[in-house]
Amino acid sequence: MQIFTERRSLDLWVAQIKTERKSLGFVPTMGALHAGHISLIQASRAQNDYTICSVFVNPTQFDNAEDLEKYPRNMQEDTKILKDAGCDAVFFPSVTDMYPEGAKSEKFNFRGIEKQMEGRYRKGHFDGVATIVSRFFEIILPDRAYFGQKDFQQLRIIQELVVQRGYPIEIVPMPIFREKSGLAMSSRNARLSEKYLKEASKIFKILNMIKDWRNQYSVTETIHLAEDQFRNTDLKLEYLILADEKKLKPIQSWDEASDIRAFVAVFADNIRLIDNLKII
C-alpha cells in the first residue's frame, strides 16, 4: 500500500493512474477506522481498479474545540487496517497541505439542505465538510467516491456539491454498519464507557419503534412517543426529526413525501452521536 503524507508524491500517483486510464475509487475518512469504514473500502475495491482512502481530522467542520481535540487519532493502527483491507493507497495530509491559506471554510449554498439538523446544531459544519471534500476531489480526481448513510445529511450535501461544481464523480451511498447491539459504528464510540455503550444501543431500538408506530400514530404523536422513550434513558436528546430524504425538511404528515427517514442526535455522557433509519 502506498502511504502519502504530502501532496507532491500523491499527485504523481494519481497522474500515473490517469495515464493508464484506470478507475479510481475514493473513501474520505477522519480515521480511527472501524468496520463501517472498511465496508466502504471493500465496495470501492469491487468497483474500481484502484482505491485510495484519506485520513484527515478536518478542523473546519468542528464547532466544538473539545470534540476536535478529543477526536481519536491513530495513524499506525489505521495504516495497518487499510493494508489488511487491501486498500491501494492512503493519504494523511497535514492541515497546511489542505489549508495553505489558513484553516478557513469557503461558503456554500445547498438550497436549504445545509440549514436543517446538523447544520442547525453545528454552526458552519457543512461549509467545513464541503470545503474539505471539494479540495480532496480536486486533488484525487476520483471516478467514484463512497459515503456512508450514517451521515445521511452529509451524503446529500456531497451529492449537491458534485452537481453544483460539475465534478465528474459518481457518489456511491453506502448502508449503515452497526454493532451487534444495533449501535451505528462510529469512531466516537471508542470514547463511550460500558454504561453509555449500553445506553447508546437504545438509539436504534427507538428508531425501530418509530417504524412500527407510523402505522398507528400521526407524525406528531410518533415524535412525542419517541421523545418519551429517550427521556427513559441516560441519553440527552438534541433533536429527533422525521424528514423527507430529498430536502431533509421535517414533515408534518406521513403522506407528505415518498421517502421518509427518522434522524436523531443525542449526547451520551457529553459524546455526541447521530443515527438515522429509513421509515418509508
Binding stretches for ligand AMP (CB under 6 A): 29-30, 36-37, 39-40, 147-148, 150-151, 174, 176-177, 184-187
Q: Which residue is nearest to ligand AMP (CB)?
A: 148
Residue among 91 and 177 whose Cβ is closer to ligand AMP: 177
Please choose, from the candidates 207, 244, 271, 270, the residue with its C-alpha nearest in 3D space to the C-alpha of residue 117: 244
Cell match 460500558: residue?
194
Residue among 86 and 175 whose Cβ is closer to ligand AMP: 175
- Minimum separation from the CB atom of position 216 to ligand AMP (A): 30
The set of residues, in sequence order, having a beta carbon less than 8 Å from that of 73 and lying 6+ positions away, is 31, 32, 57
Handedness of CA 177, 138, 168, 62 (dihedral sign): positive
Residue 85 φ then ψ, to 5°: -80, -5
Active site residue 37: yes
Residue among 223 and 235 whose Cβ is closer to ligand AMP: 235
- Minimum separation from the CB atom of position 242 to ligand AMP (A): 21
Distance CA 226, CA 209 (A): 8
Contact 238, 272 (CB under 8 A): yes
Residue 239 φ then ψ, to 5°: -150, 155
- Minimum separation from the CB atom of position 63 to ligand AMP (A): 15
In angstroms and rounded to an integer, the radius of gyration of the C-alpha atoms of the chain is 19
- Minimum separation from the CB atom of position 155 to ligand AMP (A): 7
Contact 186, 179 (CB under 8 A): no
Residue among 143 and 151 whose Cβ is closer to ligand AMP: 151
Contact 227, 240 (CB under 8 A): yes
Residue among 153 and 222 whose Cβ is closer to ligand AMP: 153
- Minimum separation from the CB atom of position 156 to ligand AMP (A): 12
Where in the sequence numbering do the catalytic residues fall?
A: 37
